[in-house]
Amino acid sequence: MANKDVERSDSVDSDTNMPPKTAPANAFTRLFEPFFQVHTRGSNWLQEIRAGCCLFMTSAYILFLNPIILSGGTSGFNTGMPGNDVALATSVATGCATLLMGVVANYPWVVSVQLGTNSYFVNSVLKLGVPCGAHSHFYGGDACTGQPCSCSITPEGTQVVNERVLVGGPCFNTTAACLGTEIPYEQALAATFLEGLVFLAICFLGIRRWLLKLFPKSILMAGAAGIGCFISFVGVKDMGVIVAAPFPTLLSLNLGVPYVHGGWGKPGYDSKVSFNSCRMYQDGPPYSVVCPWLSVGGLIFTAILLCWNINGAFIMGIFFTMFISWMKFPSKISTGQGLVPDKVAYLPKFQETAGAIDFNWGDKTGDLIIAFITFLYLDFIGSCITFVAMGEMTGILDEKGNMPRSNMAFIADGFGTMLGGLLGSSALTTYVESASAVREGGRTGITAIVCALFFFAACFLSPLFSVIPSIATGPILALIGVLIFMPSVFEINWHDITDAIPAFVTMLGIIGGLMMHVIIKFFTYQLFDFQKNWWGAALYRRWATADVTKLMKMRMPGWNCDIPPTGRPEDPWYYDPSLEAVIRKKFFPDYDENYCRKTSSPAAALDVPPLPPGKDVGGDDAAVAAVAVEPGRPIHAPDDSAHHGHMHSN
């Protein structure tokens, strides 16, 4: 079996419903088999490498997006964090954490900056637009806009912008406002570093397993299904198919909505972006090409490949859309009208953010403690839900929602967050985009290692990797959501209303789902074992045994239940089966009760066409009796209306 390493991933062992074990094909694969178990898990090295490439391509968008968010580009304010530093911190932290995930946990998952957390980091922790805040810059529309500024307090207690009163300076008497952040990013990075440290402590001390037991499996599976819906929503949004809309719609199809990033209110503004358009959009995210119809084409192309179970479907789908978009916009990125990088490689170097954490929180201690708790909550809950989703996809989740080596995977998560805070990035977590690697055949840490190598290369090649447009990765995310949602939702007990309600709410939000689970289970005497003896528990069990779904059923005689054989002839539902037998014997003597030609009938050999559908047989007896069909072939019996009409007439 020399071709073991090129077997298709869709082969399944019929006895265990698992991919069959394969044999290492050479000395190299045999050397690493005891550690990574590539062939033991039913995979091969070519499959793992391909999955690693796909995993990088579906998660590389963070190299472009995270620097824009953390530097304040999406908010219109400079946070003081250099974009190049953030990009380098993102590449290094993601590469190291993903490498640790592959080597220590031996799972094909990527660990990178958590979207949502970085937005919370900027908008809720740093709090932009504070006069004379930390890392202040001028804003106002004159020549000084974008230049750094500083403030001082006069003896009279008045706050003065130093550059504004500096005679002879370039910003003397400028009318631009000096705005910064309420909390310096150095202190927020310290909170991020501390969160990663506590996360690691939770793993090493075994607290994580105890905390995880507080989550019922139905809630975890519903959370995984909700993650699937969310990642599909993100994918469709990246495709440009849906956009924000004014209240009360809030969300609509992209039919040419006059939306401008930062809000509504510009009379006559037209973004020139609609489903039929294909143009560069620089007024807001994605700060790149918006071409919904092309992205939908990529979605259809990739979906067809998935249905055909083509290996490498996701990579082919990304390249399909990406290359067409590059041909559509062949100009350089610096012009704002193209996707071709100005340079392919550069020598990276940290300028400010590396090692800049500051624990001198002072009067901001309360705000930063809240930020730390929020970071920890988002990281822990996000990791738990992602692990459950990935475990369910790969079939390694037990009935309690546990999976092997999960603690090692959590350690990689916490280490990545610590390193991110130390270098200049917000918290890291395991990505749900890892489902793309699972679908491509990734089963071991080799996939994660390959992906990590790409992120390390991105330190030098980020100009090249950052030109993968969101319209190319959006379709992949939309399909990944399907793959995550599909196995998770079937694990929820939808027949138990006390499980179904909290599970559905969990899909909308994990906190709401947990609260609903506690409330529903408490008032149905199921939250604690000792509640079974409480007053009212017996009454609830008696009432709860009633099948509410049956109470909602509607009886439709002749459709979903038998027609009553008795009743008055004038009743619309009156029907007597014995009358049908009489009619059949009179008009169809050569046919049985199923209106099939009796094989013993003398007319069985006649080759005549069947009775036309819906033909009323209440007319000429001789004409009807002469009709014959092929032997054993059913004919069209009269419909119910004909039967009823004939019987009523009798």
The pLDDT, as a whole number, for residue 324 is 92
77 and 202 fall within a common domain: yes
Q: Which of 160, 181, 202 is the last residue of a domain?
A: 181
Q: What is the count of structural domains for the chain?
A: 5
Residue 316 lies in a domain: yes
The pLDDT, as a whole number, for residue 519 is 94
C-alpha distances in Å from residue 433, one per residue of 36, 176, 185, 269, 623: 22, 43, 28, 35, 70
76 and 146 fall within a common domain: no
425 and 547 fall within a common domain: no
Q: Encode pLDDT of 46-94 as tens digits.
A: 999 999 998 998 888 788 778 878 888 766 688 999 888 999 999 999 9
Residue 258 lies in a domain: no
538 and 431 fall within a common domain: no
302 and 170 fall within a common domain: no
Greatest mean pLDDT range, 62-66, 176-180, 435-439, 454-458: 454-458
The answer to whether residue 544 scores a pLDDT higher than 50 is yes
Using DSSP, state whether 85 is helix, strand or coil.
helix
Residue 559 lies in a domain: no
Q: Encode pLDDT of 181-198 as tens digits.
A: 999 999 999 999 999 999
pLDDT classification of 454: cutoffs 50, 70, 90: very high
pLDDT classification of 511: cutoffs 50, 70, 90: confident
22 and 160 fall within a common domain: no
The answer to whether residue 115 scores a pLDDT higher than 80 is no
The answer to whether residue 636 scores a pLDDT higher than 50 is no
81 and 207 fall within a common domain: yes
Q: Taking the mean position of all CA atoms in its chain, how far away is CA 300?
A: 18
170 and 198 fall within a common domain: no
136 and 230 fall within a common domain: no
Reported pTM: 0.71
What gap in Å lies between CA 424 and CA 189, rounded to an integer? 7
Q: Encode pLDDT of 207-243 as tens digits.
A: 877 887 778 888 888 988 888 898 888 889 888 888 7
What gap in Å lies between CA 435 and CA 313, rounded to an integer? 13
What gap in Å lies between CA 39 and CA 444, rounded to an integer? 10
Residue 637 lies in a domain: yes
Crossing angle of helices 470-489 and 217-239, rounded to 10°: 160
4 and 103 fall within a common domain: no
515 and 621 fall within a common domain: no
The answer to whether residue 138 scores a pLDDT higher than 80 is yes
Residue 69 lies in a domain: yes
The answer to whether residue 629 scores a pLDDT higher than 50 is no
176 and 193 fall within a common domain: no
Q: Encode pLDDT of 360-392 as tens digits.
A: 999 999 999 999 998 998 888 888 888 888 888
The pLDDT, as a whole number, for residue 347 is 83
Domain of residue 531 covers 506-551
C-alpha distances in Å from residue 88, one per residue of 57, 287, 462: 17, 20, 9
The answer to whether residue 465 scores a pLDDT higher than 90 is no
* CB contact at 8 A, 281 and 273: yes
The least confident of 443-447, 588-592, 635-639 is 635-639
* CB contact at 8 A, 78 and 136: no
Beta strands in 95-170 (DSSP E): 111-113, 130-131, 134-139, 151-153, 159-161
